[in-house]
Amino acid sequence: MGADHIISLASGYGNFAPPAAAVARAAAALQGGQLPVSAIEGLPALREALAVRYLAAAVSAEQIVVTAGTKPALFALLKAVLRPGDEVLLPTPNWFGFWKLIEQAGGIVRPLPLVATDNYTLHPTALEAAITPRTRILLLSNPNNPTGRVYRRAELDAVLAVTRQHSDLFVLSDEIYNFITFGTEPVPSLLEWADPLGQHLVVNGFSKSLALIGWGVGYLVAPPALARACAAWQFSTAAAVPVPNQLAALAATEAAQAIADELLAQLAHNRDLLLDGLASLPRVHCPCPEATYYAFPDFTAYLDPSLSPEAASAALVARLQAAGVGVVDGATCGAPGFARLSYALSTNDLQEALQRLRKALQ
Ligand SMILES: Cc1ncc(COP(=O)(O)O)c(C=O)c1O
């Protein structure tokens, strides 16, 4: 079947309206006449509000740099930390965007494959074995994009017990989906752990959990000297995030839990719909993701065995696309034969996409 209208389950951005309080704060700034230019590292009020968010972790505002989204935050940190020949250890599956970011910052990706049947557990022994003198960063996404897996306290305790043995190693945690969790406990932030060696780096943003899609606001948290280096990088390569956007982010920070709760309520029905729909497809396995608005089902039973895993994965995605459903090829996340499907879209479109999927796999 050739579908003239493709329903995309591939976008990483949801269909959420921006929070009213954030829009109102930005609008008031725009109507106030000439706009001030922000300091390069961000408005003090926003950095303070973010520091308060991490109060338990005793993060100070000087450790925070506001950036034009999470990608620039990641890039600034990678650029600041990586030396020629340095490697970034990337547990996979992981967000496809990391590969190019690391490459553009001059690093080399070293995948650390985790497996679905083991619930993507990051074993300390496997981590220790993967660390070499070249390893400069362990890069995590928590919650993980694309698997939706949340790495909890006990598991991270064990991981950080390993990384603490390597004083030259940084741990970079991308926590952009932190509020989109259907678990009973909050997702832990790396900042909650003591960091005597100054190894812990965190990035986050407003385009997922806080519904400021397209507003271009993110931030990094790092030891003060590194934060200053990233601000200097931003000064010479870009500009401060515009003040109305930062004020919108400030309003979203102040109302973070309420905004996230509303998103979770909006997403709950679609989540059930997608997971039930996938469970009813023959030979498709899909563990229930605790967080994010993605499912990451295993379609390996449908791969053409005469092709390489990557080519077979691309062929499967092309088959789904031809049937009118766009998905992210798991191969781009380090997991050929899997696909990332978003359910942050209209229920009608999701229902139609599921019907098309069923037909395409027949
Ligand atoms: C894990 C992860 N980090 C960073 C980003 C980029 O976020 P931003 O829109 O804030 O640049 C994305 C977007 O899909 C993502 O999934």
| Burial 302-326, CB ≥16 within 10 A → b, else e | bbeeeeeeeebbbebbeebbebbbb
88-105: b or e for each residue (b if 16 or more CB lie within 10 Å)?
Answer: bbbbbbbbbbbbebbeeb
Ligand 1: distance of its center to the CA of 343 in Å? Answer: 17
Number of H helices, E strands in the chain: 11, 12
C-alpha 95 – ligand 1 centre gap (Å)? 8
> What is the best residue among 66, 67, 71, 74 to mutate for testing ligand 1's pocket, by most ligand atoms within 8 Å of CB?
71
Q: Is the peptide bond before 124 cis (omega within 30 degrees of 0)?
A: no
What digits encode the pLDDT tens for the residues 218-251? Answer: 999 999 999 999 999 999 999 999 999 999 999 9
Is ligand 1 within 6 A of the CB of residue 188? no
Give the mean model confidence (pLDDT) for residues 72-95.
98
- In 3-state terms, what secondary structure has residue 19? coil
pTM beyond 0.95: the answer is: yes
* Percent of the chain whose pLDDT exceeds 70: 99
Q: Which atom of ligand 1 is nearest to the CA of 205?
A: 10
Does residue 12 line the site of ligand 1, with CB under 6 A?
A: yes
Contacts of 298 (CB under 8 A, 6+ apart): 116, 284, 285, 286, 337, 338
The reply to whether ligand 1 has any atom less than 6 angstroms from the CB of 175 is: no
276 CB-near residues (< 8 Å, 6+ apart)? none
**3-class state of residue 240 by DSSP:** coil
Task: Measure 130 CA to ligand 1 centroid, in angstroms.
Answer: 26
pLDDT of residue 51 exceeding 80: yes
Q: Quick one: pLDDT at residue 54?
A: 87
| Ligand 1 centroid – CA 294 distance (Å) | 14
The answer to whether residues 13 and 342 touch, using CB atoms and an 8 Å cutoff, is: no
Q: 321 in helix, strand or coil?
A: helix
Find the farthest-apart pair of alpha carbons in the chain and give their distance in angstroms, rounded: 64
pLDDT tens digit sequence for 161-194: 999 999 999 999 999 999 999 999 999 999 999 9
> What distance in angstroms lies between residue 322's CA and the mean position of ligand 1's atoms?
27
Closest-lying ligand 1 atom to the alpha carbon of residue 71: 11
The residue whose C-alpha atom lies closest to atom 7 belonging to ligand 1 is: 70
Our answer on whether the CB atom of 75 is closer than 6 Å to any ligand 1 atom is no
| Residue 340 near ligand 1, beta carbon < 6 Å | no
Pocket probe for ligand 1: among 141, 179, 208, 332, the residue whose CB has the most ligand atoms within 8 Å is 208
Q: How, if at all, do strands 328-329 and 339-342 pair?
A: antiparallel
